[in-house]
Structure 1
Amino acid sequence: MTNTGIVGILLIIANVAFSYKGFTSSLFFYKYNFEVEKILVYKDYKRLVTSGFLHVNWMHLIFNMLALYFFSGPVENYLGPVQFLIIYFASLVGGDLLSLFIHKNQSFYSSVGASGAICGIIFASIALFPGMSIGLFPLSISIPGWLFGIAYVLYSVYGIKSRIGNSGHDAHLGGALIGMLVALLFHPAAFAQNYFTILLIAIPTIIFLYLIITRPHVLLIDNAFSRARKNHYSIDHKVNEEKINSQKEIDRILDKINKHGMSSLSRQEKEKLKRYSQSVK
């Protein structure tokens, strides 16, 4: 996939600039990341979008931007920049909404990354271009797009249940489904050309979403992956652990003020309290 359009390039630039700011400022990062408590309790809905322009580190950013570079061109050139942007942001928000629903009872759950939006672009490509092939990096082989789509959906469903890997499978799955559906709304003729593949991808996804809405306990699974979770350190785990540790430190400082007064704080403790008060405004 080549011939990246101007909107795709601008999105890459925006992701790099926003992520770099997050790399250099933890205050900026925690002000705009996806966090269940901030969205549901404080109604900070902008995080559903801004979190998609933040990344944990350079590797996370580069991997996502390479995927966006290679897959954005065909969709943008085929549908035009406006419809391409609608697919991108609808997939981003749709993926985050699914993640918010699944983790609604985990107040400290947080995540970042453009993967949901990019999955939407990839699955829009699968819907629009039935004969496309997808290269498997770093292997020098390609597989049919329809096979990749089916395998990815099944892997994401299992990943959500067992919470394996370093990825937010829920945001990926939600973004992929929304991207495909919006692309078909813009170009309904693609369904007639590629209906078998689209149904194979959409039906298990929709069934799974229906089950987790009506029977949330299906998300519980006991296997080798889930039992080993305490030994697995993923991207989302890293963000969540940092957030929890930061909150514990603030609680310790507030308890110290309650017992001994403001004058008992060290200069470093006062700075931490000041940064925290700014982050929750």
Structure 2
Amino acid sequence: MTDTGIIVLLLILLNILFSYKGFTNRTFFDSYQFEIDPILVRKDYKRLVTSGFLHVSWLHLIFNMISLYAFCGLIGDHLGGLRFLIIYFSGLIGGGLLSLLIHRHHGDYSAVGASGAICGIIFAAIALFPGIGIGFFGLPFTIPGWLYGILYVLFSIYGIRSGKNNIGHDAHLGGGVVGMLTALVMKPDAFVHNYFTILLIAIPSIAFIWMMIRRPDLLVVDNFWFKTHHKNYSMDDRYNAEKNNAQRDIDRILDKIHKRGMSSLSRAELEKLKEHSKNIP
């Protein structure tokens, strides 16, 4: 067995053991999952890594491990086991950091799963081998890696902005971009040969991340379901909805103070509470 094979086997075993422990012990799960407040307030940075070894179900775990196994050989054979491991953890941490950026004002946001790390491996493979065929379970065809990468980035951007489901699109996008950039640092000549594909994937991804930093107010759009079922959604409705959402945020902060004290609040929550107090007549 190659060094990459041994590393992948160990990663799969760690994911299985860690996830099983989380399935059977909620305290363990809560202690190691990705959660905004413990990371930003208590500086519990280990959660950026440990959350990547937890999963919400056996189906979630199995799907991620199959995806990992499917792409490990391509990267491992080309770059070696150590570089494969570096890309894996770069994607994992990169996905977590992007989630932290997007949800920094959502203190109770939580997530688990190895998807960010696996997206890092997949996008690294696309950057180095844009012509690879990527198949889907049960379907008798593949699509070129470069097309898959572009479609995946666009889908992730839409998913982050719409917020229409519970999929961690932000961790997928962050992990994919960081994994791709890490692979290019290791093999810079790949950019010369595959620059068109790489730029098609990198430019919209980086532009979107920059937009989130500079203009976070543009992040959220109307949910597709809401558009479909509420065609008469007026500006007054939007104002009232935003007002209600703001009040729910304040109620959540006050409830958090009641349960954990003022010291548990993040900087963003303290600023929001201060701003709310100014508007009280």
Q: Report the TM-score range of the alignment, normalised by the length of the smaller protein.
A: 0.7 to 0.9
Residue pair 1:92, 1:116 contacting (<8 A) in 2 also = yes
**Cα displacement (A) at 1:224:** 2.1
**Cα displacement (A) at 1:94:** 0.6
**Cα displacement (A) at 1:19:** 0.4
Q: Which amino acid aligns with 2:89?
A: F
Residue pair 1:136, 1:143 contacting (<8 A) in 2 also = no
2:107 matched to which residue of 1?
Answer: 107
**Cα displacement (A) at 1:81:** 1.0
**Cα displacement (A) at 1:192:** 1.2
Residue pair 2:52, 2:92 contacting (<8 A) in 1 also = yes
Gaps of 5+ in 2: 230-251, 260-281
Cα deviation 1:42-88 (Å, max 9, x = unaligned) = 11000000000000010110010110010111111211111111110
2:157 matched to which residue of 1?
Answer: 157
Whole-angstrom distance in 2 between the partners of 1:155 and 1:136:
16
Q: Which amino acid aligns with 1:22?
A: G
Residue pair 1:164, 1:226 contacting (<8 A) in 2 also = no
**Cα displacement (A) at 1:141:** 1.2
Q: Which amino acid aligns with 1:128?
A: L
**Cα displacement (A) at 1:228:** 8.6
Residue pair 1:163, 1:226 contacting (<8 A) in 2 also = no
Residue pair 2:4, 2:84 contacting (<8 A) in 1 also = no
Residue pair 2:37, 2:107 contacting (<8 A) in 1 also = yes
Residue pair 1:130, 1:193 contacting (<8 A) in 2 also = no
Residue pair 2:34, 2:111 contacting (<8 A) in 1 also = yes
**Cα displacement (A) at 1:212:** 0.6
Whole-angstrom distance in 1 between the partners of 2:226 and 2:166:
13
**Cα displacement (A) at 1:223:** 3.6
**Cα displacement (A) at 1:218:** 1.3
**Which deviates more from structure 2 when the two are superposed, residues 123-132 or residues 145-154?**
123-132
Residue pair 1:4, 1:70 contacting (<8 A) in 2 also = no
2:126 matched to which residue of 1?
Answer: 126
RMSD: 2.2
Equivalent residues, number: 233
Whole-angstrom distance in 2 between the partners of 1:143 and 1:109:
34
Find runs of 4+ consecutive structure 1 residues off by over 6 angstroms.
Answer: none
**Cα displacement (A) at 1:140:** 1.7
**Cα displacement (A) at 1:225:** 3.5
Q: Which amino acid aligns with 2:17?
A: A
The alignment partner of 1:44 has SS state of coil
1:85 matched to which residue of 2?
Answer: 85
Gaps of 5+ in 1: 230-243, 252-281
**Cα displacement (A) at 1:166:** 3.8
**Cα displacement (A) at 1:108:** 0.4
